[in-house]
């Protein structure tokens, strides 16, 4: 297939008890999203925290079961797979986490941490395994004499290198990286990103890169999807979206990037308020209470998708001229 990963109408709803009577209310953490990732590409999921990015990543790997929708990996519908088949597939789909310290067992040495996935997935002959581990360590910028040390003996950047080594040692095809550099010092971030780009070339990896950091996204990714309250509101080639953002939310995010050039700083759009609760999303376009361009129709109707060409789409009434004309006609009839 042309796409390594296809996500169709994916939903993840939670029920949480609320209020005095502990009534169950439904939280639509991921609310009907679709996107596809080509082999070898880096695809970004962008948005403020709480918009459903991490839940999307975890649902794709079936670390949490989706409520509805389809996830196809290399053509296979992963929701229909048996436990055993899913386990096999999981060695091809790995995850790198935001906090490398929390995700590395503090009681295990680096040797044990890297050996474990090879053992669990029964990968390589036993006598080959140490060679593979040594090679991976070298590739991520560590070495032999780190093998018998524990995670706490390393810096944050080194720990993330170990987390990456653990993901890559299985030679996966696909890696979901959830905020992989946001816990690191800025000075270390670019080193880790460059490492990920090198690994991508070396092993032909495909990435789903989850981040709220637009400057990292711009540097690192080929295509991007912007999420707001569990929905994708804009998708496109990363360059196209940065050069010509269509959705007012995307425009606000991009305008808020700390400007490297004074020329870029003058048009900053400041958003009012926080992201509303996904348990009680606003009607119509969920962004309307914060949108500087909101119109009357926005609180009443969910905007359809507009296609701007080259795979660039956005959901916003500003571009739904036909629909607005229809509305006028309706009024004319009345």
Q: Does 54 bind Mg ion (CB under 5 A)?
A: yes
For residue 278, the minimal CB distance to ligand SF4 (Å) is 16
- Residue span binding Mg ion (CB under 5 A) among the ranges 46-54, 188-196, 214-222, 243-251: 46-54
List the one residue from 12, 53, 90, 288 that touches ligand SF4 (CB under 6 A).
Answer: 288
Handedness of CA 260, 158, 39, 83 (dihedral sign): negative
Residues 99-118 that bind ligand SF4 (CB under 6 A): none
The rounded distance, in Å, linking the Cα atoms of 30 and 14 is 9
For residue 47, the minimal CB distance to ligand SF4 (Å) is 14
Q: Does 294 bind ligand SF4 (CB under 6 A)?
A: yes
For residue 242, the minimal CB distance to ligand SF4 (Å) is 18
Q: Give me the DSSP letters along 184-211.
A: S-HHHHHHHHHHHHHHHHHHT-EEEEEE
The rounded distance, in Å, linking the Cα atoms of 141 and 23 is 52
Handedness of CA 142, 197, 186, 232 (dihedral sign): negative
Q: Does 189 bind Mg ion (CB under 5 A)?
A: no
Chain position whose Cβ is nearest to Mg ion: 54
- Residue span binding ligand SF4 (CB under 6 A) among the ranges 135-143, 192-200, 256-264, 283-291: 283-291
- Quickly count: other Cβ atoms within 10 Å of residue 207's Cβ: 24
**Based on the number of CB atoms within 10 Å of its own CB, is 152 exposed (0-12), middle (13-18) or buried (19 or more)?**
exposed
Antiparallel, parallel or unpaired: β 231-237 and 313-315: antiparallel
Q: Does 229 bind ligand SF4 (CB under 6 A)?
A: no
Of these partners, Mg ion, ligand SF4, none, which one is at the site of residue 54 (CB under 5 to 8 Å by kind)? Answer: Mg ion
List the one residue from 248, 253, 255, 313 that touches ligand SF4 (CB under 6 A).
Answer: 248
Closer residue to Mg ion, CB minimum distance, 47 or 66: 47
Q: Does 246 bind ligand SF4 (CB under 6 A)?
A: no
- CA distances to 78, 85, 174, 206 from 170, in Å: 19, 16, 11, 14
Of these partners, Mg ion, ligand SF4, none, which one is at the site of residue 170 (CB under 5 to 8 Å by kind)? Answer: none
Under the rule (CB under 5 A), what is the footprint of Mg ion?
Answer: 54
């Amino acid at each position: 297939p042309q796409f390594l990963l296809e996500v169709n109408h994916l939903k993840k709803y939670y029920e949480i008890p609320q209020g005095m009577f502990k009534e169950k209310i439904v939280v639509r953490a991921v609310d009907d999203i679709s996107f596809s990732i080509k082999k070898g590409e880096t695809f970004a999921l962008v948005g403020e925290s709480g918009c459903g990015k991490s839940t999307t990543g975890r649902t794709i790997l079936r670390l949490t079961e989706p409520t509805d929708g389809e996830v196809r990996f290399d053509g296979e519908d992963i929701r229909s797979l048996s436990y055993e088949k899913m386990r096999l597939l999981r060695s091809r789909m790995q995850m790198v986490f935001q906090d490398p310290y929390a995700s590395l067992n503090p009681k295990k040495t680096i040797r044990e941490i890297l050996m474990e996935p090879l053992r669990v997935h029964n990968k390589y002959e036993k006598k080959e395994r140490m060679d593979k581990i040594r090679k991976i360590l070298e590739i991520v910028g560590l070495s032999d004499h780190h093998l018998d040390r524990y995670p706490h003996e390393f810096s944050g950047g080194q720990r993330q290198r170990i987390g990456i080594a653990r993901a890559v040692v299985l030679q996966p095809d696909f890696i979901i990286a959830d905020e992989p550099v946001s816990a690191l010092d800025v000075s270390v971030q670019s080193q880790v990103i460059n490492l990920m780009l090198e690994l991508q070339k070396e092993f032909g990896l495909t990435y789903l890169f989850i981040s709220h950091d637009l400057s990292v996204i711009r540097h690192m990714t080929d295509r991007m999807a912007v999420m707001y309250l569990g929905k994708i509101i804009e998708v496109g080639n990363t360059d196209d979206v940065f050069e010509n953002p269509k959705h007012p939310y995307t425009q606000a995010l991009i305008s808020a990037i700390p400007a490297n050039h004074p020329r870029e700083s003058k048009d900053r759009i400041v958003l009012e308020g926080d992201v509303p609760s996904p348990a009680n999303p606003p009607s119509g376009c969920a962004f309307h209470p914060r949108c500087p361009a909101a119109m009357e129709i926005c609180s009443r109707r969910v905007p359809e998708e507009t296609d701007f060409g080259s795979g660039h789409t956005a959901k916003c009434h500003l571009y739904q001229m036909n629909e607005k004309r229809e509305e006028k006609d309706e009024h004319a009839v009345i």
